[in-house]
Structure 1
Amino acid sequence: MEISGFISAVVIGIVIGVLGRLVVPGRQRIGFLWTIGVGIVAALLGSAIAAGFGVADTDGPDWIEWFIQIALAAVGVAALDRARARR
């Protein structure tokens, strides 16, 4: 992965993480860096899943890919919040 690809993954991860956090109701007890980390992982996994289903490269915006990424980020934020709440 080139440096430009890494930087774009971080930027997309921030956006996806924040959107995933907005989808989860209530207050989350995780920090901003955890949100970014979850967003980056969700963006990468979501892209791989979308590519596996053949919906990653479409004409225009990749709405299905974004939905998958945001859903994965929401699940990741909720899971991390619950794991940290148990401690």
Structure 2
Amino acid sequence: MNSIKLAEKLNMSHFSIYRIICLHRNYFEELGPIKEKKLLPGKNTKGGRPIIFIKHLNQLQINFLISLLKNTPETVKLKFKTIKSML
């Protein structure tokens, strides 16, 4: 799953997810390689900040990321779903 879809599921900004991944990059990389993709702006945009970096995470990395997040209602639901799937 990529960081943009995960941010949408958690009702968080992509920047927040991206920042957590960057702060703890060494731990994430121990769980597997982090694939990064650049999302360029559309042709009809006027410029500004043109590149968004999307991180592609494996399931272990997603579980680790979820454990680092604050307990918002969306995060609690996702944590519960993750634990339930392990049973």
Same fold (TM over 0.5): no
TM range (shorter): 0.3 to 0.5
Structure number with the higher strand fraction is 2
Structure number with the higher helix fraction is 1
What is the TM-score of this pair, normalised by structure 1?
0.33
Which structure is larger by alpha-carbon Rg, 1 or 2?
2
Structure of greater relative contact order (alpha carbons < 8 Å, 6+ residues apart): 1
What is the TM-score of this pair, normalised by structure 2?
0.33
